[in-house]
Amino acid sequence: MKKILLTWALLGGMGWTSGTFAQSDYPTLSQATQRLQKVATNSSAELKSLTKTAGGKDIWVMKIGTGAMDQKPAIAVVGGVEGFHVLSTELAIQFAEKLVSEHAAALEKTTFYIFPNMSPDAYEQYHAALKYERRGNTVPVDHDRDGTPGDNGYTDLNGDGMITWMRVESPMGEYNESKEDKRVLEKADRSKGEAGKYLVYKESKDDDKDGKLAEDLKEGIAFNRSLTYKFPVFQPLAGDIPVSQNESRAMLDYLFEQWNIFAFVTFSPSNNLSTPLKFNSGDAKKRVVTSILEKDQAINAMVSGIYNETITQKAFQQTNQGTDGDFFQWAYFHFARLSFSTPGYWVPEYKGADGKGKTNPEANYLAWADSLGWADSFVPWKEIQHPDFPGQKVEIGGIKPFRTVNPPYEKVAEIAKEHTAFILKLAEMQPKLELLNMKAEALGNGLTRVTVDLFNNSALPTHSEMGARSRWLRKIRIDLDATPDKIVSGDKIKLMDSLGAFEKTTLSWIIRGTGNVTIKAGAPHTGITSATVKL
């Protein structure tokens, strides 16, 4: 995809039009770093390298805000959880650029922690001589446990500089040509008695002579497969234990110090924004909860509605709502924050002259590409002689890597603008505590009753339902600035589990003496509010 798609006509599915190329491709790591450093010259931005990967690449975090940034409610924006999803890194960087140049007012109330690229080792494959959709870092890993790390990865068998697909004719095959487009394959429907014609593999050969193909990739651990929630034990690219890599440890260590984060927005293949998660009462009652909780599902649905109103493009056949060991689910189930994820882009649904669409996503993509005259999206199937399949017909071909998940670069600015608008709408909804209707009532004998309403003036609760259960989301603390001997009734310090959306609670004390008393209420992720009354 380095030579980005050749021509652009009207993109009816997204309302895009062709234009002059300013930059023809996604940035290299060094170009991305230069842009982050430029943002950091703004007084409201701080850039820090948390660690370096095994490949020597920086894991950056950028903090953007004003004043005491770590004491304000915050949103964390995360890109690059999958290295092949290069769009996600660009969206995070453009969000940072737009914040400091166009949205300074948003920084007065909210802090933003931006992690632009959590998989820089894998991201680099996009610009490498051999292109394939890589996930893992550069740590040597013996995926097939044969004693030699990375001894059976991908092989560019047709010499075109990219890894596509390999289909082998076999009576034991599981795949057939799609009825919707013979260029793509789909699984034979055994329930209908269909026999398969092809075995399908990524372009490779049996380098270690163990009878398997591409089972020991020359790449290490994937960030988005190595977190603690539903860690995929003994699965490729996950590692032996969760959070085993420099990048994952450094990020989580940093996050556990940021008590002020109330929500995450992750750009990843997972999606609970165009389509919210579903509540399952049985899974929610398990010892290890595997369903979003009921109140949080309602929040998810509300925020999803705002997302769909803000984003022009509508999701097509998007069903990935999380995979084992991923970051998006960790942020909710284990870190107990509101967690939202979106790919940011989908191949639009294409309908032909007959008004009919395609059920096969790859067939849909190719129909759309054909309608735009793209000649550089697909490698036609071509027979080769394969050393591991003597006497069998083997063909190499398929959709080129990166095409279905990353749009042409010149269209990213429009996508970034809309997603910036969405994140800022989410920031406007952050929990907002207010002390209202404060009264001081003289009771005689030097005593005064002080009452006040603590009100959450937000469409979001102060805590997710998961957060209310968790020790990792601090409770609301109400402090009365009076010595204990003067407090006749009520608590000097009171803790509350949560306040719902637009919910209030009335607080009351009886205090002895004269002068002023101050009440403070809040938590790091809600902000602190205070009010003073004269006795």
pLDDT digits (tens, 9 = 90+) for 399-458: 999 999 999 998 999 999 999 999 999 999 999 999 999 999 999 999 999 999 999 999
Dist. CA 84–CA 1, nearest whole Å: 12
Per-residue pLDDT at 495 exceeds 90: yes
Query: What is residue 355's predicted lDDT score, i.e. its pLDDT?
Result: 84
Dist. CA 527–CA 477, nearest whole Å: 11
Query: What is residue 352's predicted lDDT score, i.e. its pLDDT?
Result: 84
Which residue bears the tokens 């020359």? 218
Report the Cα 315 to chain-centroid distance in Å: 16
What's the per-residue H, E or C state across 98-152? Answer: HHHHHCHHHHHCCEEEEECCCCHHHHHHHHCCCECCCCECCCCCCCCCCCCCCCE
Note the residue count of the chain: 535
Query: What is residue 3's predicted lDDT score, i.e. its pLDDT?
Result: 32
Question: Which pLDDT tens digit goes with each residue over 457-469?
Answer: 999 999 999 999 8
Dist. CA 366–CA 130, nearest whole Å: 23
Phi, psi of 64 (to 5 degrees): -125, 130
Tell me the two tokens of residue 522: 């809040």
Query: What is residue 374's predicted lDDT score, i.e. its pLDDT?
Result: 84
Dist. CA 472–CA 256, nearest whole Å: 8
Q: C-alpha dihedral over 331, 332, 338, 344, to 10 degrees?
A: 60
Per-residue pLDDT at 497 exceeds 70: yes
Per-residue pLDDT at 4 exceeds 80: no
Query: What is residue 319's predicted lDDT score, i.e. its pLDDT?
Result: 67
Q: Domain 29-127+219-347+406-428's class?
A: alpha beta
Dist. CA 452–CA 508, nearest whole Å: 7
Query: What is residue 21's predicted lDDT score, i.e. its pLDDT?
Result: 34
Position 224: which residue type?
N
Position 320: which residue type?
N
Burial of 447 (C-beta count, 10 Å sphere; 0-12/13-18/19+): middle
Least confident among 38-47, 223-232, 470-479, 490-499: 470-479
Reported for 236-242, long-range contacts at CB under 8 A and 24+ positions apart, including other chains, are: 236/143, 237/135, 237/136, 237/141, 237/143, 238/325, 239/141, 242/325
Query: What is residue 318's predicted lDDT score, i.e. its pLDDT?
Result: 67
Helix orientation angle between 29-39 and 86-102, rounded to the nearest 10 degrees = 20
Q: Please check whether residue 376 is in contact with residue 3, taking contact to mean a CB–CB distance below 8 angstroms.
A: yes
Tell me the two tokens of residue 478: 């109400």
- How far separated are the first and last CA of the chain, in Å rounded? 71
Per-residue pLDDT at 393 exceeds 90: yes
Q: Please check whether residue 520 is in contact with residue 481, taking contact to mean a CB–CB distance below 8 angstroms.
A: yes
Dist. CA 297–CA 243, nearest whole Å: 27
% of residues, the chain, pLDDT over 70: 95
Per the prediction, the chain carries an average pLDDT of 92
Confidence of residue 119 (pLDDT cuts 50, 70, 90): very high
Residues 6+ apart with CB under 8 A from 437: 451, 452, 453
Dist. CA 247–CA 233, nearest whole Å: 19
CATH of domain 433-534: 2.60.40.10
Per-residue pLDDT at 64 exceeds 90: yes
Confidence of residue 298 (pLDDT cuts 50, 70, 90): very high
Residues 6+ apart with CB under 8 A from 54: 121, 137, 138, 139, 220, 245, 246
Tell me the two tokens of residue 324: 């084992």
% of residues, the chain, pLDDT over 90: 87
Domain ranges of the chain: 29-127+219-347+406-428, 165-218+355-399, 433-534
pTM over 0.85: yes
Per-residue pLDDT at 316 exceeds 80: no
Residues 6+ apart with CB under 8 A from 55: 120, 121, 124, 137, 138
Report the Cα 466 to chain-centroid distance in Å: 19
Instruction: Please give the residue that has the higher pLDDT: either 58 or 6.
Output: 58
Give the residue from 61, 21, 497 showing the smallest Cα distance to 253.
61
Give the residue from 60, 145, 85, 115 showing the smallest Cα distance to 344.
85
Position 381: which residue type?
W
